[in-house]
A and B are shown apart, each in its own frame.
Chain A
Amino acid sequence: MNFAVLVFPGSNCDIDCYKAVEQTVGQPVDYVWHTATDLSKYDCIIVPGGFSYGDYLRSGAIARFAPVMAEVAKAAAAGKYVIGICNGFQILTEAGLLPGALRRNTSLKFRCHSSILRVENNKTPFTTQYEVGELIDIPIAHGEGNYYCDEATLAQLKQNNQIVFRYADNPNGSVEDIAGVCNEQGNVVGMMPHPERAVNQLLGSEDGKKMFTSILNAWREQHGAASIG
């Protein structure tokens, strides 16, 4: 299974994502520069955190028009696995690949600490190894993670089971404590917390590890290969 970690000018969690893939599932992984125009060899695309284009105008607003994003949209439509973490989530909402938007935290503070999430949906390819209702410890690091969507969109998210994670203790003012959502098909996930920073007890938690092993399992099931525990 081939992983791509996208790199925009200003990305700063790309190395963490790359290492997390190496250390959790040991699959081939490449850094892919934002000017790339072919992602066809990749099965999973990780849009990492950071401050792409300095967060100018709005977080993710400019990155969303980088050449590679047309390929990401193509991959998402083809059912490949796409995950946006933190700034990656902001980029995917700006691109319209995920519903809603991320506003400034209500506290106006950059919040950088561990956070407890409740798994709401374990049917996405990224979450199959969690239990619904499971509490996991995944750190956050953002100033603009305050998830917003209008009432109609929220009703849709609930109806289609698109809320993937909720905060146990809302750190930013997000609507309905939402920490992560997926698209209708479930193959595109976005979340503000950083699972790639929670893959080893040395980092304070390894609760993020199962996101990576889930995705490898999902891919193997799709491709008729043996799954791992």
Chain B
Amino acid sequence: MFKATVYVTVKQNVLDPQGVAVQGALHSMGFNEVGKVRIGKYMELEVDATNRAEAEERVRQMCEKLLANTVVEDYRFELEG
């Protein structure tokens, strides 16, 4: 059993309205050192696969098909196990 940790974020060239709002809030609180803020999603998946390469390929397909919308989002993932 593998554990996949998937991170999905809005693409760098696409506006992230939530990130902009959080950046504004941090600035108004006095955290002026904060530059760009991006909000994303964090997902943990348990994956049953016979080997690491297979798990990696399956998770990649899951990201491409469902977990991220590659029109506006980027993804990356880590595999443990």
Chain A contact residues, CB within 8 Å of chain B: 57-58, 61-62, 65, 93-94, 100-101, 103-108, 146, 148-150, 173
In the bound assembly, the distance between CA atoms of A57 and B17 in angstroms comes to 17
- B57-79: which have CB < 8 Å to A? 66-67, 69, 71-72
Indicate if the CB atoms of A148 and B69 lie closer than 8 Å. Answer: no
Indicate if the CB atoms of B14 and A103 lie closer than 8 Å. Answer: yes
Q: B6: shortest Cβ distance to chain A, in Å?
A: 11
Indicate if the CB atoms of A149 and B17 lie closer than 8 Å. Answer: no
Residues on the B chain within 8 Å of A150, using CB = 71
Chain B interface residue count, Cβ-Cβ cutoff 8 angstroms: 13
- Within 8 Å by CB of A103, from B17, B21, B41, B66, lies B17
Indicate if the CB atoms of A105 and B17 lie closer than 8 Å. Answer: yes
In the bound assembly, the distance between CA atoms of A81 and B15 in angstroms comes to 33
Indicate if the CB atoms of A101 and B17 lie closer than 8 Å. Answer: no
In the bound assembly, the distance between CA atoms of A94 and B66 in angstroms comes to 9
- B11-70: which have CB < 8 Å to A? 14-15, 17-18, 20-21, 41, 66-67, 69
- Within 8 Å by CB of B17, from A61, A94, A108, lies A108
In the bound assembly, the distance between CA atoms of A58 and B72 in angstroms comes to 11
In the bound assembly, the distance between CA atoms of A57 and B8 in angstroms comes to 10
- Within 8 Å by CB of B72, from A57, A101, A173, lies A101
Q: Can you offer 19 A-B residue contacts whose CB atoms are under 8 A?
A: A57-B41, A58-B69, A61-B69, A65-B66, A94-B69, A101-B71, A103-B10, A103-B15, A103-B17, A103-B72, A104-B18, A108-B18, A146-B15, A146-B17, A148-B14, A148-B71, A148-B72, A150-B71, A173-B17
Which of A58, A106, A149, A150 has its CB near the most chain B CB atoms (within 10 A)? Answer: A58
Q: Which residue of B lies closest to A103 (CB)?
A: B72
Q: Which residue of B lies closest to A90 (CB)?
A: B69
